[in-house]
Structure 1
Amino acid sequence: MTRLPWNEIPPPLRARVEEVLGEPVVEALSQTGGFSPGSADRVITASGRRAFVKSAGLSLNADTPGIHRAEAAITAALPPHVPAPALLGFVEHDDWVALVLEDVEARHPSTPWEPGELEAVLEALHAMTATPLPADAAVTTLADAIAGDAAEWQRIDPVTLPPLPRGLDTWVRAHHDGLTDAAARAVADVRGDRLVHFDTRADNILLREDGSVVLIDWPWAARGVAWFDALSLLINVRYYDPDADIERLIGRYAIFDGMPRDAATRVLAGFAGMFLGSSLRPVPPRMPTLRTFQRDQAIVTLDWLRERWER
């Protein structure tokens, strides 16, 4: 990702961030991970106060300011028990926006995933979904959120599909109708009343020194089934370790209790279509690695999906 350094953010926007923090920023350390264009800085003020600031303008990417705006609204409304950074402020200038968040002193999980760290994250997801979301929580339903992704298979032409490793393109051509149907049926499978982060992978998770877990980047939060985030996390586990026994993990952790096997397979079909369809689109501005990442995600998910499909 091509990150914009702090000193290239429009000065009026930087000034508004400093108003939120109450004093000037004297140091900014750019963060290189993730897939959102714009800036991402851990900043320090004159008195030593710390914060995390993300900013973007329409001139960089047409979608990112709206994504930051959604994240600000959702973060502000998260229930107190959710392990997420606190929102300190949200500011705008012309077509630019900046999200000001609590700076979390932590690190991303090790990859390939270490068993103890994976256990901590799965336990945190279980705790987060232990209670229903309040009825008035301002998030979309997961069914609505994935409906467009579930329809992605209808837009994928199996005839023109580019080659994929291990004969996956041939397998997709042979099962295209079944994959299309499975993804469509997944929309009903994910209805529920629990908080869903919707983007659980290592770069959206932080681990503090005491072992506690923090989930970051919340623009896609939704209301749905408790096991959805944990299932998507296992895609990330296999992404970093193709030999990981992820089926054994499903039988081991309480977050997966009550997850119907066929429903999980249908959800994976939706994930596979979303990743594959997205990977075939043109590269968006200032996001040169995104399509390759999505293709890699599609391959990992299709491999797992084919194993389940053929059992």
Structure 2
Amino acid sequence: MTLASGVRIGWADVPEHVQAAVEAILGDRVVAAVSQRGGFSPGTADRVRTAGGGRAFVKAVSPAQNQRSAELYRQEALITAALPPGVPAPRLLGSFDDGDWVALVLQDVEGRHPVTPWVAAELDAVLATLRALAASTTPCPMPQLPTVAELLGEDLSGWQRLADEVPDDLDPWAAARLPELVALGAAGVAALAGDTVAHTDLRADNLLVGPDGTVTVVDWPWACVGPAWLDTAMLMVNVNLFGGHDVDALLRAYAVPLGARPDDLTGLLAGMTGYFLDACRKPPPPGLPTVRAFQRAQGEACLRWLRARLETAP
């Protein structure tokens, strides 16, 4: 199984002036830093401890590692600072940006990523958290957020790009149905209007399960405004990738009560499948050597799910 894990720099690789800025935010000297696994950013992801016993989670990156990652860290700082108090996310303690290096200093939340393949109890806890998150952020309390279509519309149009230049190795079932898949993806984007804060990048590595079972949602640069069911539906891509669960039954149990219609869910799945199968063919971005393999694994798993969903539709 291809995991969501990239290649990171560590705290020791961060320039001294950035380390000093982080310590100024913390009000103390960092004496220990433990790098965390998961995610694709080539920047730091360290749980740090200070001389006085304080704790924090520090992320830092520069364009030398990846230009887009630095942009996303800036966006994450703005979004995390604006999240309402009730959102189950780490609080932003402070940030630093010298135009090159960007560092985020966040509350260190005790916990671990959910087990994959997903276990039922943890999955239920995550889905309950997403239901409560949707309820607490409807109507959207963050007017600065873009809509799903504005943020992700182009990404979810991958089938159109595949149809414009059909790859030789495209799955024969998909190649024979490209017009239908293009239309499904477009319909999926059109169905994503709403007034709820959506994270839109939910995988096991962007979630923490605490010792008491409490779930915390981390890494918020892709937040936007969409339907209340969006995060629940998008999480199913990760659940489906690892197997072991009836994802369609989970959608009926958790997404449909939040207003999702079966055709909307199929359209979203089509859009995400096209995105993964299109993106995985591009060269790896600087500093992210493993992301294309993970996108391919997700695309192939989504295509199998999409085919089964279309062939069993009434």
SS at match of 1:44: strand
Shift of the alpha carbon at 1:253?
3.0
Alpha-carbon distance between aligned partners in 2 of 1:107 and 1:124, rounded to the nearest angstrom? 16
Shift of the alpha carbon at 1:12?
0.5
Which of 139, 147, 151 is matched with 1:145 structurally?
Answer: 151
Shift of the alpha carbon at 1:137?
2.8
* Two-structure CA RMSD over aligned residues (Å): 1.6
Which of 202, 205, 212 is matched with 1:210 structurally?
Answer: 212
SS at match of 2:132: helix
Alpha-carbon distance between aligned partners in 1 of 2:168 and 2:239, rounded to the nearest angstrom? 25
Which of 29, 35, 41 is matched with 2:34 structurally?
Answer: 29
CA contact (8 A) 2:229 2:255 kept: no
CA contact (8 A) 2:58 2:105 kept: yes
Superposed CA offset, 1:144-198 (max 9, x none): 122111222221147642536xxxx001101111111111122220100011010
Shift of the alpha carbon at 1:199?
0.6
Which residue of structure 1 lines up, in the alignment, with residue 303 of structure 2? 302
After superposition, the Cα gap between the structure-2 partners of 1:89 and 1:262, relative to the gap in structure 1 and judged at 3 Å, is: same
CA contact (8 A) 1:205 1:214 kept: yes
SS at match of 1:156: helix
Alpha-carbon distance between aligned partners in 2 of 1:73 and 1:135, rounded to the nearest angstrom? 14
Which residue of structure 1 lines up, in the alignment, with residue 68 of structure 2? 63
Alpha-carbon distance between aligned partners in 2 of 1:175 and 1:222, rounded to the nearest angstrom? 31
1:8 aligns with 2:10: no
**Residue type of the partner of 2:187?**
R
Matched residues, percent identical? 46
1:50 aligns with 2:84: no
Alpha-carbon distance between aligned partners in 1 of 2:257 and 2:168, rounded to the nearest angstrom? 34
Shift of the alpha carbon at 1:255?
6.4
Which residue of structure 1 lines up, in the alignment, with residue 85 of structure 2? 80
Which residue of structure 2 lines up, in the alignment, with residue 222 of structure 1? 224
Shift of the alpha carbon at 1:83?
0.4
SS at match of 2:135: coil
Moved more, 148-157 or 52-61: 148-157
Paired residue total: 306
After superposition, the Cα gap between the structure-2 partners of 1:159 and 1:15, relative to the gap in structure 1 and judged at 3 Å, is: closer
Which residue of structure 1 lines up, in the alignment, with residue 3 of structure 2? none
CA contact (8 A) 1:28 1:41 kept: yes
1:289 aligns with 2:295: no
**Residue type of the partner of 1:146?**
L
CA contact (8 A) 2:228 2:258 kept: no
TM-score normalised according to structure 1 size: 0.94
Which of 161, 178, 191 is matched with 2:167 structurally?
Answer: 161
Moved more, 127-136 or 42-51: 127-136
**Residue type of the partner of 2:218?**
I
Moved more, 116-125 or 138-147: 138-147
SS at match of 1:23: coil
Which residue of structure 2 lines up, in the alignment, with residue 175 of structure 1? 177
Which of 234, 237, 255 is matched with 2:236 structurally?
Answer: 234
Alpha-carbon distance between aligned partners in 1 of 2:267 and 2:255, rounded to the nearest angstrom? 21
Which residue of structure 2 lines up, in the alignment, with residue 17 of structure 1? 22
Shift of the alpha carbon at 1:8?
1.2
Superposed CA offset, 1:231-274 (max 9, x none): 11111111111x42111222333664421000100011110111
SS at match of 1:107: coil
TM-score normalised according to structure 2 size: 0.93
Alpha-carbon distance between aligned partners in 2 of 1:135 and 1:114, rounded to the nearest angstrom? 33
**Residue type of the partner of 2:139?**
L
Moved more, 139-148 or 75-84: 139-148
Moved more, 142-151 or 283-292: 142-151
SS at match of 1:310: helix
Shift of the alpha carbon at 1:210?
1.1
Equivalent positions of 1:120-139 (< 5 A) are 120-131=125-136, 132-134=138-140, 136-139=142-145
CA contact (8 A) 2:233 2:255 kept: no
CA contact (8 A) 2:112 2:209 kept: yes
Moved more, 206-215 or 153-162: 153-162
CA contact (8 A) 1:77 1:138 kept: no
Alpha-carbon distance between aligned partners in 2 of 1:97 and 1:13, rounded to the nearest angstrom? 8
Structure 2: gaps (5+ residues)? 1-5
Which residue of structure 2 lines up, in the alignment, with residue 93 of structure 1? 98
